[in-house]
Amino acid sequence: MRFYRTLLRLYPTSFWAEYRDELCCAFADRTRELRGPFAALTILLAALADVIPNALAAHWDVLRQDLGYAARSLLRTPGFALTAVLVVALGVGANTAVFSLADFVFVRPLPYRDADRLVKLWQGSEVGRNEVSPANYRDWKAAGKETTSSFSGMGAYCFHAANLVGAGDPRRLETVQATPDVLPLLGVSPLIGRVFTARDAEAGQVVLLSYAFWQSQFGGERSVIGRSVRLDGVTHTVIGVMPPLFQFPNRSIEAWMPLVLREENFEDRSDTYLEVLARLRRGVSAEQARRELAVVSARLERQYPKDNEGIGALMLGLRDELSERARLLLIALCGAALCILLLACANLASLFLARGAHRARELAVRSALGAGRDRLVRQLVTETVGLSLVGGAVGVAAAVAGMPLLARLVPSTLPIAEQASLDLRVLALATGFVLLTGFAFGLAPALRAGRSNALDALRSGTRTGGGRTQRLRAALVVVEVAASVILLILSGLLIRAVWRIQAIDPGFVTEDVLTLRTTLPLPRYEPVVRRAQFYERVLEQVRALPGVRSAAYVTGLPMSHRGGIWPVSLTGEEVLPNDQNMASLRYLTPRYFATLGIPLRRGRDVAETDSREQPFVAVVSESFVQRHWPNQDPLGKRFHMAFDERTVVGVVGDVRVRGLERPSEPQVYLPYRQVEDGSIIGYIPKDLVVRTEGPSERGTPGLLPRIREIVKAADPEQPISHVRTMAEIVAEETAPRVTQLWLLGALSAIALLIAGFGIHGLLTFTVSQRAQELGVRRALGAQTGDIIGLVLREGLALALIGTAIGIAVAYAAARGMGALLFEVRPEDPLTITVAAALCLVTAVLGCLRPALRAASADPLSALRTE
Amino acid sequence: MNDRELIENLLPLPPATFHILLALLDEERHGYAIIQDVEARTEGELRLSAGTLYRSIARMVEQGLITEVARRRTAADDPRRRYYRLTPFGTAVARAEMRRLSQLVRLARARGLKPETT
């Protein structure tokens, strides 16, 4: 019987309190007749069978009633219900979206087996990290073969783009060449076919396809295995297809080929181009592995002092590829989302407190009519949680819908999909946010309302919600104002940063330039004369097209090809590469400067006549002159670069090669013919730039197809890739920032709105509470202005406190994101002033209606209500 | 809402509710007495558990079908026992349910359905 009595606690408290004695009675009566050896067991089972289903059903009954009641009471105050749902949706939606993005980029495991044990090795020196030379890779790997090694495997790969012929139109294929160890290290098996073997690494000429490429070029036919494709003019056999979600090292790679390392590749230790991937042995810590690498590289340093001096081995996780800026961008967004959550919580708490105060009488009446306290609290909780759940569902739905908009913030350097997806963990997180907003900030007021003494409420008429509630609500308004000031200042600083970046002169005219890439395959195009034929033919015909003003070929476009630097020596003696003598190197055809709108300051452009038989010449940028011959006439000066002595024949304006936000090396431009056959192949001109008469959108009718025809006629096997306008390339520079700003801007606007409503709600309530006092004041002769001033002062005091707190926190936060601010100081007075002013204006607007209402109230009627 | 609509809203009654109404037709009873009465009338076919009974009672009290009576307790009575009786509304609802059921039976008969399988 005691057991049954305990079980009865499973019923809803109200039911239990009402019927527990009778239930015991009836159960005792019913089981009294039971006799026999199994009576105890039968009673036990009967108790369980009786209580559990009925308790559940009773809970369901109560819930249904409460939901019905909540729905009715919320429908009576649709403004409140809608506001609450929107506020929760906002907080939950913003946080779900931003945190799933952060989770996706920072936390979620990369799509390889035991991805956290995979590391990348770099050659590290004081200047930073570098790719690895084949010889150093071989020595590291040899050391790793020892049984005590920290690594269970090591492999190397490098990026390689190849022209594909033999599967539809010729096209440019982004591939990776990898040693046979790499794919097994990742622990991913091919969907069909096989991966590379040691024999492939000697012979080459096989290829593994990505799933997407297999689908698009071969229609997903399984018979693709064994088919031949021609890559850069060499026949390769397809040996396998990787699974759909596999990407390595990032999503742009469409095929993998074996990396063939021959004896001659190991000769030059200073030629660094390999990316090295390794897997930590189980139970080995990163620290142990680092120590071991230090020992190995110290040995190599002693063995090869000339090349390896100061070169260590740097070990980084796969996620460390993420740039500092991308990381900060996301962290800033997370911070903003948390601000919104804080705001939503404060607002919700304020809303529920006000509602609790409004309903105190209703609750008191119900309580007086016999509703138990538990029953009332339970009903309020149902209402709160119901509202939060609806708001949460709306928020999550909005977050899912908004995910594609955030795609720009997913860094392309990581092997993850383009778009964050919602997974169970993020949903759990979202539920957490809902419970936090709903329970913590709805429950407290509910409990308060349940606790309040029924009789007191009835006795005090309408004057409810004592001083404590008011002070709490005032504090919440301060929090709301502070949060919105923080958001406003941070977005303001970032807007100023983007403006500054966008105002930077890139050094060329971005409008009306179409660019595309034709990478000439080697070894076919190793002879300069063969390349010259191609360029001449294409350029001559493109320049003749209607609507084309000029055209030229260049090694790489600014902001697209950021590297490509070479040491400069004035004397011809060999120099060690360092910050003081590196210059950006480009080979080009004549009229490149005119096409891109780079101003020619002195001398002349390169010419078709600048051939190998003529003196070697160069056009240099102003900063190059400034660095080497300040205050001298640069024309006719000589310097050594790229294996030959060059004479300066022209000076042009500087270009932001490395992008708008970074300083660039001085630039040197060399005529495309003044190079030996098969030499400096990394700098062969491949980008065609075309200046058009009007806007050169990619869709310029007829232009692109005509250029395609011209290229096809010049070389039917030559693919075209990277079709973009120069304006797009420049816009890409600030695209992630602009996306982030849109988000931050939207969040700040919403925050401001919420804070404004918070102030409005609080003051409206205070004014109605103080109607009598205000009436007395008016009756005693207070003017309209006095009353308005009284209410405004109260609102503005809160706004000022909030603004001060907000400015302090924003300053601290801004100092932490210096890398994003691009020379805008965290204490930027303009931004802070504008943000504070915006906030105060909003506060005044929020105060205005309640103030006017207070002023226009009839003193007599206010007094009469007493 | 008038009485008719209120009654219509409650129909059809759950079997347990109908049986409880029947048990209270002739006299006031306490919970266990209701269980026994139902069991006796249905020849043991319907044995209400305590939980089911009181959940039904709670709902029926709220719906106004039955009401608790303050009844003089005999010496033999357990003081924890509470007695219930039908309200006029409860009687009306029981009648309406009966009408509904007999109408159903009439309809089935008219289609030639017989309870016994022949």
Same domain? For A496 and A551 the reply is: no
- Calculate the average pLDDT of chain A: 83
Residue A307 has pLDDT above 80, yes or no: no
pLDDT band for position B104 (cuts 50, 70, 90): very high
Task: Look at residue A248 and tell me if it is in a domain.
Answer: yes
- 3-state SS track over A105-153: HHHCCCCCCCHHHEEEEEEEECCEEECECHHHHHHHHHHHHCCCCCEEE
Task: Look at residue B7 and tell me if it is in a domain.
Answer: yes
Q: Pick the residue from chain A with its C-alpha nearest to B55.
A: A58
Task: Look at residue A41 and tell me if it is in a domain.
Answer: yes
Least confident of A107-111, A151-155, A671-675, A703-707: A107-111
Average pLDDT over residues A625-640: 93
Do A22 and B80 count as a contact with CB atoms less than 8 A apart? yes
Task: Look at residue A725 and tell me if it is in a domain.
Answer: no
Number of separate domains in chain A: 4
Task: Look at residue A488 and tell me if it is in a domain.
Answer: yes
State pLDDT tens for residues A804-846: 999 999 999 888 877 778 888 888 889 999 989 988 888 888 8
* B 32-91 residues with CB < 8 A to A: 32, 35, 49-55, 57-59, 78, 80-82
Task: Look at residue B63 and tell me if it is in a domain.
Answer: yes
Task: Look at residue B48 and tell me if it is in a domain.
Answer: yes
Query: For residues A617 and A606, is the Cβ–Cβ distance under 8 A?
Result: yes
Spatial CB neighbours of B19, under 8 Å, sequence gap ≥ 6: B38, B41, B42, B46, B48
Range of the domain at A187: 127-309
As a whole number of angstroms, the distance between CA A539 and CA A141 comes to: 48
Do A18 and B58 count as a contact with CB atoms less than 8 A apart? yes
CA separation (Å) from A749 to A96, A746, A784?
19, 5, 32
Q: Pick the residue from chain A with its C-alpha nearest to B78.
A: A25
Q: What CATH code is carried by the domain that includes residue B92?
A: 1.10.10.10
As a whole number of angstroms, the distance between CA A153 and CA A118 comes to: 10
Q: Which of A15, A44, A64 is the last residue of a domain?
A: A64
Which two tokens mark A798? Answer: 């809160």
Average pLDDT over residues A410-419: 69
Q: Is A148 exposed, middle or buried (0-12, 13-18, 19+ CB in 10 A)?
A: exposed
Q: Pick the residue from chain A with its C-alpha nearest to B77.
A: A25
As a whole number of angstroms, the distance between CA A19 and CA B25 comes to: 22
Do A22 and B55 count as a contact with CB atoms less than 8 A apart? no
A360 shares contact with chain B (CB less than 8 Å): no
Between A417 and A513, the higher pLDDT residue:
A513
Task: Look at residue B116 and tell me if it is in a domain.
Answer: no
State how far residue B81 is from chain A, nearest Cα, in angstroms: 6
Phi-psi region of A791 (alpha: psi -120 to 50; beta: other; left: phi over 0): alpha
- Enumerate the H helices of A238-372 as residue ranges: 286-303, 305-308, 324-368
Q: Which of A718, A742, A762 is the last residue of a domain?
A: A718
Q: Which of B49, B52, B53, B81 best tests the A interface by mutation, with the highest count of A CBs <10 A?
A: B49
pLDDT for A536 equals 94
A23 shares contact with chain B (CB less than 8 Å): yes
- 3-state SS track over chain B: CCHHHHHHHHCCCCHHHHHHHHHCCCCCEEHHHHHHHHHHHCCCCCCCCHHHHHHHHHHHHHHCCEEEECCCCCCCCCCCCCEEEECHHHHHHHHHHHHHHHHHHHHHHHCCCCCCCC
Q: Pick the residue from chain A with its C-alpha nearest to B39.
A: A30
DSSP helix/strand/coil, A579: coil
Q: Which of A5, A7, A23 best tests the B interface by mutation, with the highest count of B CBs <10 A?
A: A23
A53 shares contact with chain B (CB less than 8 Å): yes
Residue A280 has pLDDT above 60, yes or no: yes
As a whole number of angstroms, the distance between CA A667 and CA A655 comes to: 8
Q: Which of B47, B73, B21, B114 is nearest to A46 (CA)?
A: B47
pLDDT band for position A614 (cuts 50, 70, 90): very high
State pLDDT tens for residues A508-520: 998 889 999 998 8
Task: Look at residue A704 and tell me if it is in a domain.
Answer: yes
Same domain? For A553 and A451 the reply is: no
Q: Which of B55, B62, B68, B82 best tests the A interface by mutation, with the highest count of A CBs <10 A?
A: B55
Q: Pick the residue from chain A with its C-alpha nearest to B32.
A: A26
Instruction: From chain B, pick out residues whose CB is under 8 angstroms from the CB of A42.
Output: none
CB-closest option in B32, B80, B82 to A30: B32
Same domain? For A188 and A287 the reply is: yes
Which two tokens mark A261? Answer: 């390392």
Interface pTM, i.e. ipTM: 0.80
Instruction: From chain A, pick out residues whose CB is under 8 angstroms from the CB of B52.
Output: 50, 54
Spatial CB neighbours of A581, under 8 Å, sequence gap ≥ 6: A567, A568, A569, A575
Task: Look at residue B12 and tell me if it is in a domain.
Answer: yes
CB-closest option in B32, B55, B80 to A54: B55
Spatial CB neighbours of A785, under 8 Å, sequence gap ≥ 6: none
Same domain? For A286 and A379 the reply is: no
Same domain? For A164 and A248 the reply is: yes
Same domain? For A703 and A610 the reply is: yes
Strand partners, A125: A128
Same domain? For A598 and A707 the reply is: yes
Q: Which of A653, A686, A718 is the last residue of a domain?
A: A718
Range of the domain at B73: 3-110
pLDDT for A31 equals 75
Tokens 């997407």 correspond to what residue?
A212
Number of separate domains in chain B: 1
Q: Pick the residue from chain B with its C-alpha nearest to A27.
A: B50
Spatial CB neighbours of A166, under 8 Å, sequence gap ≥ 6: A228, A229, A230
Instruction: From chain B, pick out residues whose CB is under 8 angstroms from the CB of A16.
Output: none
Same domain? For A159 and A195 the reply is: yes
- Number of A:B CB contacts under 8 A? 56
State pLDDT tens for residues A461-505: 444 445 666 777 788 888 888 888 888 898 888 888 888 888 889
Task: Look at residue B115 and tell me if it is in a domain.
Answer: no
State pLDDT tens for residues A230-251: 888 888 999 999 998 888 888 8
Do A50 and B55 count as a contact with CB atoms less than 8 A apart? no
Instruction: From chain A, pick out residues whose CB is under 8 angstroms from the CB of B51.
Output: 23, 50-51, 53-55, 58
Average pLDDT over residues B15-29: 90
pLDDT for A463 equals 46
A51 shares contact with chain B (CB less than 8 Å): yes
Same domain? For A773 and A706 the reply is: no
* A 54-113 residues with CB < 8 A to B: 54-55, 57-58, 61
Instruction: From chain A, pick out residues whose CB is under 8 angstroms from the CB of B59.
Output: 61
**Is there a cis peptide before residue A109, judged by omega within 30 degrees of 0?**
no
